[in-house]
Amino acid sequence: MNSLEELMQRAWQVRKENFPASIYFAYPNNTTPITLTGKSCDLDCAHCGGHYLEHMVDMNEAEEVLRKRQSRSCLISGGCDHKGTVPLAEQIKFLEKLKGQDYRLNSHLGLASQEEIEEVSKHVDVVSFDFVSDEETIKEVYNLPHTAQDYLDCYQALREKTTVFPHICIGLKGGEIKGEYKTLEILQEIGADALVFIVFIPTKRTAYENRQPPALEEVGKVLATARVKFPNIPIYLGCMRPKGRYRGELDLLAVKCGVNKIVIPAPTAVKYVEELGWEIVKGQECCVL
């Protein structure tokens, strides 16, 4: 029996002991992703290169789009400035207007200052925070002068002011597992209300376009380890992960590793849960809302 199989057995047992026989499948059609910076970003991150801003709604068009879609919530993000911060604090009036119309708001702040956190936290429901604890990864992926301590300090400052969900990208360093286990150890020590995992996607027109996603066995080890280390909090598999056959195998693996929620699950995972006889709960908003 290999180590992954052993880990999965332990993870499955932990899940059964601490959670009901049900799983949540999120289909976030009622959450509109909005960019505050259009397609502009001061960083040219190795894994993104601004590519993912292209599919978001510009804030100047957001109100009309929200009315047409009849959305109930928004994912507020955008490109970062040279400090690695998404300029939410500069758009407080926009956030206030959305909140005044009863939209639920999930925001990506990046590495924000204490002042920015205090200002933004008054208007959002939850913050999604990309937690990175490996110095090499921070430098290579983001080309930022920040340290792992900066990420830790920002996360702790956020927790004092609002609900924050740490996001861990498995294989962020060009498909390499580098720092994910350290991140789990840190979060185990300081606390988290839930964990959201995403998986590196090789993306065209980026520095990492010719890399490969992390091996599924390695992804499974991270997920199963997280389940064992965090027996009492929900674990999510978020929307950012490779498609095709990889996703089909990944989503099935994630269920077996004890995750509680999957965004837009592959048919393989749905079928497996149905065969287990588990209850399937469906939602139509962003996984952290």
Each of the 289 residues of the chain gets a pLDDT tens digit; together they read 468 999 999 999 999 999 999 999 999 999 999 999 999 999 999 999 999 999 999 999 999 999 999 999 999 999 999 999 999 999 999 999 999 999 999 999 999 999 999 999 999 999 999 999 999 999 999 999 999 999 999 999 999 999 999 999 999 999 999 999 999 999 999 999 999 999 999 999 999 999 999 999 999 999 999 999 999 999 999 999 999 999 999 999 999 999 999 999 999 999 999 999 999 999 999 999 9
Domains of the chain plus CATH, in order, are 3-283 (3.20.20.70)
Check residue 2 and give its pLDDT.
61
Q: Is the dihedral of CA 236, 241, 244, 247 positive or negative?
A: negative
CB 214 within 8 A of CB 137: no
The alpha-carbon radius of gyration of the chain (Å, integer) is 18
- Provide the token pair at 94: 């926009």
Q: CA–CA separation, 240 vs 50, rounded Å?
A: 14
Distance between CA atoms of residues 253 and 240, nearest Å: 16
pLDDT tens-digit readout, 206-264: 999 999 999 999 999 999 999 999 999 999 999 999 999 999 999 999 999 999 999 99
DSSP 150: H
- Cα–Cα distance, 39 to 23 (Å, whole number): 35
Question: pLDDT at position 32, please?
Answer: 98
Which pLDDT score is estimated for 172?
A: 98
Spatial neighbors of 189 by CB under 8 A, at least 6 apart, are none
Q: What confidence score (pLDDT) does residue 62 get?
A: 97
- Give residue for tokens 């990492």: 208
What are residue 34's DSSP bridge partners? 57, 76
Q: What's the predicted TM-score (pTM) here?
A: 0.97
